[in-house]
A = this chain, B = another copy of it.
Amino acid sequence: MKVGIINVTGYAGIELARILHGHPEADVVSVTGRSAAGREIGDELPHLERLGITIEEEITKSVDIVFSALPQVVSAEACVPFVRAGVKVVDISADFRLHDPQEYLEWYGKEHPAPDLLETSVYGCTELDREGIAGASLVANPGCYANGALLALAPVVDAGLITDQIIVDAKSGVSGAGRGLSMVTHFSEVNENVFAYSVEGHRHLPEITQELRRLRPGYEPRMIFQPHLIPMTRGIHDTVYADFVEGTFDSTEQARERVREVYNDYYADESFVRVVSKPPQSKQTWGNNDCLIYPTVDSRTGRLLVFAVLDNLVKGAAGQAVQNMNLMFGIPETTGLEQIAVYP
């Protein structure tokens, strides 16, 4: 596959370049990055020198697939011509995730530039919609927070075990905020610090609820999704709190056993989603495409607890995107993604 990367100089783009460089069937033939256009990639990003490619203003080569790692709104504008021209596209931005243009307007504050594509774009949480993604020409890669929350919730939502009351308390490293400069990416402000943000509602919330509704028609989750910034570069940890539908279980022990069974069954054939036997650590997925999930039931309250971790730049962005590409081109899903986490 000949691959183009739009905006290779952001963190998702850098990570795509890293992963695709090691992908045996992909060849990165063209990369863009506005402010660095015209420079050798190794001059701009020394660790990528091995790619031996020049950063351009626009994708100039013929490509089989384009990844856009631009921010929302500009990403849609950059993707549309490729989609119209029949080139497969995986958009890492938020632009094609919400199928309802009204909801897009509400959360992103702009009219969607190509609302017709919202009908045909496919939400790219691979494990939850393989068929859709395999046949898609435009895949909307999930938000880094959304991916973990969805994978943590899918088995119990699918099984109809929980009520509509869900809390997702998420903790993220700073790279999720991108490579742009702001006080929340300033080392001295963020180091030795933790705080909640987007208390009025984070943009990944509507895509989570949209996909949970798709997963179980008629289910209407009422979710609090509360993100927190913590002083590390990579990694997301989701802690999910939910209530079982009344009368589902006779005892906490039964609930815990059944819940583990449900998760084990749901992810039995997955390569990247692993149900683990104790609370996972984000570091166990540092730099690789795994999502580790530990579901349990609180002894004292009988409520559901699910812990999930992933690397926001891999399973939460570039790795997930490559997994989707593999599926779109009919090659084994794990191709180029078998790396073990870098630990410690």
Cα(A296)–Cα(B198), bound, Å: 12
Q: A248 in the interface, Cβ–Cβ < 8 Å?
A: no
Q: How large is the interface on A (under 10, 10 to 19, 20 to 34, 35 or more residues)?
A: 35 or more
Chain B residue nearest to A50 in the complex (CB): B340
CB < 8 Å: which of B179, B239, B276 contacts A226?
A: B239
Give the one of A191, A234, A290, A299 with max B CB within 10 A. Answer: A191
Q: Is the CB of B187 within 8 A of A46?
A: no
Q: Smallest CB–CB gap between A242 and chain B, Å?
A: 11
Chain B residue nearest to A169 in the complex (CB): B169
Q: Smallest CB–CB gap between A69 and chain B, Å?
A: 14
Q: Is the CB of A279 within 8 A of B199?
A: yes
Q: A266 in the interface, Cβ–Cβ < 8 Å?
A: no
Question: Assembly of this chain: how many copies?
Answer: 4
Q: A14 in the interface, Cβ–Cβ < 8 Å?
A: yes
Q: Cβ of A286: which chain B residues have Cβ within 8 Å of it?
A: 47, 192, 342
Q: Is the CB of A282 within 8 A of B179?
A: no
Q: A71 in the interface, Cβ–Cβ < 8 Å?
A: no
Q: Cβ of A338: which chain B residues have Cβ within 8 Å of it?
A: 22, 50
CB < 8 Å: which of B21, B174, B194, B237 contacts A187?
A: B174
Q: Is the CB of B188 within 8 A of A11?
A: yes
Cα(A189)–Cα(B173), bound, Å: 13
Cα(A237)–Cα(B170), bound, Å: 13
Q: A213 in the interface, Cβ–Cβ < 8 Å?
A: no
Q: A201 in the interface, Cβ–Cβ < 8 Å?
A: yes
Which residues in chain A, 2-38, are within 8 Å of chain B measured between CB atoms?
Answer: 11, 14, 17-18, 21-22
Q: A280 in the interface, Cβ–Cβ < 8 Å?
A: yes
| Stretch in contact with the other chain, from A103-111, A123-131, A141-149, A301-309 | A301-309
Q: A101 in the interface, Cβ–Cβ < 8 Å?
A: no
User: What string of 1s and 0s marks CB contacts (under 8 Å) between A249-288 and chain B?
Assistant: 0000000000000000000000000101101111111111
A344-B237 contact given A195-B282, A279-B195, CB 8 Å threshold? no
User: What string of 1s and 0s marks CB contacts (under 8 Å) between A188-217 and chain B?
Assistant: 111111111101110001000000000000
